[in-house]
Structure 1
Amino acid sequence: MKRILVPVDFSEESMNAINAAHSLAVDTDSDVLLLHIVEDPNIETMKVSGETHYDPMDNIYVKLLLDKTREKLEAIVNDPKMRDLTINYKIEIGNPFTSIAENIASHDASLIFMGSKGATGLQEVLVGSVADKTVRYATCPVIVVKGACEIKNVKDIVYATDLNEDHEQIMDDLKEMQSHFGAKLHVLKVFDSMWTTVPEVKKRADEFVN
């Protein structure tokens, strides 16, 4: 594990994600990149009006927002609690999901930590959100943090899979985490018994594990 990416919006949930990433980064000697996306409200307006030369940096509001954002990120990076790891930040103007996806690739992220709302249930939290899209389409593992936690002493990892053979990179990442923690890896396949049988699924699962 080399780089952990943490999208930050300064909410309590994203701060929980930073703290969780910190605990794992120190334990695995990884560096952390904080990513904040500034959504310029004028971009969509410009698209509708047909303007093709709009530069968000010409917007005074955006400039002030960037300055304030930079101050907040500097405060996090320079916090004495962060002295024991390599941590940097990046600010972009654009669409949150698109920017996250691009930064996964450009910074070769090994893992993503993201915050979610706490007590409303995972499905309600994720569906239709940036976290949902990131979980679905990210090219590296995503850990969605639901509250304050430290990623230490992990004993069990549950991997929900469709048992296809195109998961080689995911399995490599999971095995690295499993090896680091000395954890047990559980492979979970959920299926509809109307379309297949238990023996068929068990056979596929055995082949997958082997």
Structure 2
Amino acid sequence: MKTFLVPTDFTDSSLRALDYAFDLAKEVDARVVVCHIHDKALVPGFSSAMDKAHKEEAQQEVNRFIGKAKNTGAEIETVIRGGNVVDEIAKAIEEFGVSLVVMATAGGKGFKERFFGTRTEAIAKRGLCSVLVLPENGPIKPIEHIVYAADFENGDQVTVLQLMQLKELFSATLTFLHVKSKNQPDLIDDEYVKQELIKQFPQADIQFVEIANDDVVEGISRFVQEANTSLLSFTMLNRIFLEQMTHNSVSAKLLRNLNLPMLALPENGRLLDLQRNANSERRMDR
């Protein structure tokens, strides 16, 4: 069974993520695991008795939190743990066979917003599975136009297979956007890659757009705003150190700065599984 994971800190933004996960779960027949991690490092002298008491209190809070959500009938499990938040979420991803994490991030500049946003980024960088990041304040529109930030260097065939599920699920258009930058020289001929993708996926109906901008983040940001993009996707690399740092630094800046839903795909992690539930006849409209 498909499994989605929703980490929560009981805020309105994480409730928004849970609502979205429930809607999506109904479409594709998935269960939803609601996960709350209390960071022991933030509480000096944290004892086992305190841990037990906190878990009991947190379980009650999780139950109240789930009660606020608009559950569409999805199967629900809860996880209450103490420890490093990112490490424990990573363990839960492996333990439950999670194929998609749905979580919110914040674009503000306060400590809490930076801290939670950094955790979201860290989970995406682990590359264990896909991570759908929802903005705290920005509108979540129906998914009608998906833009994938492509560099045509990193296994786009597997990416297409995953993005085509999204395209079909939402009846959306799909654009591969490549920003040519002097700071990121092309190692493979872009036209060759595009033709190979068209040959391998003749029914995919992918639009290819290429723009020039030495600031890749600015180029992507400007395009998605002008193109009325409803979902931006990109791949988190797990390759040689220099390539990973260069590529993933662009992804990190996008996660911090853009106020629209973003989907971080793993290069080598568990593949996204969003095949539509055969019994579902409705589209997700929010």
| TM-score for the superposition, normalised by structure 1 | 0.75
| Residue of structure 2 equivalent to 1:23 | 23
| Residue of structure 1 equivalent to 2:151 | 162
* Pairwise CA RMSD: 3.3
Deviations 1:48-89 (A, max 9, x none): xxxxxxxx6x43332222111100112234558326221221
| Residue of structure 2 equivalent to 1:135 | 124
| Residue of structure 2 equivalent to 1:186 | 175
The Cα of 1:34 is off from its aligned counterpart by 0.7
| Residue of structure 2 equivalent to 1:207 | 196
| Residue of structure 1 equivalent to 2:220 | none
The more displaced of 102-111 and 141-150 is: 141-150
| Residue of structure 2 equivalent to 1:107 | 96
The Cα of 1:205 is off from its aligned counterpart by 3.5
Deviations 1:113-151 (A, max 9, x none): 11111556xxx9599711111222233221111137897
Q: Can you give the 5+ residue segments of structure 1 that lack an aligned partner in the other structure? A: 47-55
Question: 1:11 aligned to 2:17?
Answer: no
Amino acid across the alignment from 2:65: I
2-side partners of 1:10 and 1:206: how far apart? Answer: 47
Among 57, 68, 82, which residue is 1:68 paired with? 57
CA 1:136/1:208 → structure 2, altered by over 3 Å: closer, same or farther? farther
The Cα of 1:90 is off from its aligned counterpart by 0.7
Question: 1:86 aligned to 2:66?
Answer: no
Quote the sequence identity (%).
Answer: 25
Structure 2 residue matching 1:157: 3-state secondary structure: strand
Is contact 1:19-1:149 (8 Å) kept?
no
2-side partners of 1:130 and 1:95: how far apart? Answer: 10
2-side partners of 1:114 and 1:157: how far apart? Answer: 19
Q: Can you give the 5+ residue segments of structure 2 that lack an aligned partner in the other structure? A: 200-286
| TM-score for the superposition, normalised by structure 2 | 0.57
Is contact 2:39-2:82 (8 Å) kept?
yes
CA 1:34/1:127 → structure 2, altered by over 3 Å: closer, same or farther? closer
More strand by share: 2
Is contact 2:6-2:18 (8 Å) kept?
yes
CA 1:136/1:171 → structure 2, altered by over 3 Å: closer, same or farther? farther
CA 1:59/1:194 → structure 2, altered by over 3 Å: closer, same or farther? closer
| Residue of structure 2 equivalent to 1:39 | 39
Is contact 2:3-2:32 (8 Å) kept?
yes
2-side partners of 1:109 and 1:101: how far apart? Answer: 10
CA 1:39/1:126 → structure 2, altered by over 3 Å: closer, same or farther? closer
2-side partners of 1:144 and 1:84: how far apart? Answer: 22
